[in-house]
Structure 1
C-alpha cells in the first residue's frame, strides 16, 4: 500500500487539531493542558504547513511569481485586453 505525502500531511493536521482541542477541553489547572495545545500548534505550523508548501511548490518556477518588469508588463497587457473586450 502506497501512502502519499498528502495523506501524511492530512493525518498530521488532524492529529494537531485533535491535540489542540483536547488540550482546550481539559481543565485549566491540568498540568498537561498547555503541552497538548503547544504540541498541536507546533505540529500544525512547524511540520504540516512546511510539508504542504514544499509539496505544492515542487516543479514550479519561482521566476514566474516574482514581480519583475516583464511580469508587470504582462499583467498590465492582460488587464487592457480584458477591458477592451467588456
Structure 2
C-alpha cells in the first residue's frame, strides 16, 4: 500500500506541475491542476486514511467526550 501511495503522489505532483507549466506557457492548464486536486481529495486521502487506520481499534479513533472528561479527572 505504501508503494501505491508514493506512486499516486508522484502522479498527482506530475499533473499539478504539468498544469502550471501549461498555464505559464499561456495555455489552459487549469484542467490539469484541477485533476490533480481532485485526485488528492477523492483518491489519495481516503487511501491514506485507510492504510493508516486499518489495524486500529475503532474506539481509538472515536471522539467520546464523556470518556475524555473522565480520563482528565482521573489524571488530576
Segments of 5+ residues of structure 2 without an aligned counterpart are none
Q: Is the 8 A contact 2:23 2:30 kept in 1?
A: no
Q: TM-score, normalised by structure 1?
A: 0.70
Which residue of the partner structure matches residue 39 of structure 1? 35
1:58 to 48, 54, 60: 54
The number of aligned residues is 74
**Structure 2 matches for 1:6-45, cutoff 5 A?**
6-27=2-23, 29-31=26-28, 33-45=29-41
Segments of 5+ residues of structure 1 without an aligned counterpart are 81-86
Q: TM-score, normalised by structure 2?
A: 0.77
The alignment's C-alpha RMSD in Å is 1.9
